[in-house]
Structure 1
């Protein structure tokens, strides 16, 4: 897909990236509809910038940096402290 088609596409925030003992709140796992495999996610989503809109209207931006698992999920890095827990289950939008 071209990047123009991806602009404005919404993905769901699934969770933080976690290990056995540590939660990484600056990294969030995102799942986009229509992306079913690791290869599709790597080809179409890596490097794009996403934004989450807070209920007060503020926008928090992050960049899709890596793949997560085999089912098309990706990790996004939010440098400004990460996303709050209230963001789980809501949507992010590809803006660039």
Structure 2
């Protein structure tokens, strides 16, 4: 199981997409390595123990970030926290 870190919401100039997040995966630093994770499941666990499940939908940029879409939006406190990637 691999771990990653939630970096930011997927956003535009005026809007934030509240179910889409950018995730930085450990030891992934280019687009080719990041493409191997497309379709994998992402699990974020809250401090209370609730699990929210998402799926990696694509690569974001050339430095190894990936986009993940979660079933429901995560709270703002989830930014910069760890996620598990199966």
**Structure 1 and Structure 2 fold alike (TM over 0.5):** yes
**Secondary structure of the residue that 2:13 maps to in structure 1?**
coil
Q: How many residues align?
A: 86
Tell me which stretches of 4 or more aligned residues in structure 1 moved more than 6 Å.
Answer: none
Pick one of 57, 60, 67 that aligns with 1:68. 60
Please give the residue correspondences for 1:75-90 in structure 2 after superposition, counting only pairs within 5 Å: 75-80=67-72, 82-90=73-81
The structure whose residues are more often helix, as a share, is 1
Is 2:21 the counterpart of 1:28?
yes
Alpha-carbon RMSD: 0.8
Aligned to 2:33: 40
Aligned to 1:94: 85
Cα deviation per residue 1:20-57 (whole Å; 9 max; x = unaligned)? 11100100000011111011101x21000010000111
Shift of 1:10: 0.5
Which protein is bigger by CA-based radius of gyration?
Answer: 1
The structure whose residues are more often strand, as a share, is 2
Shift of 1:70: 0.9
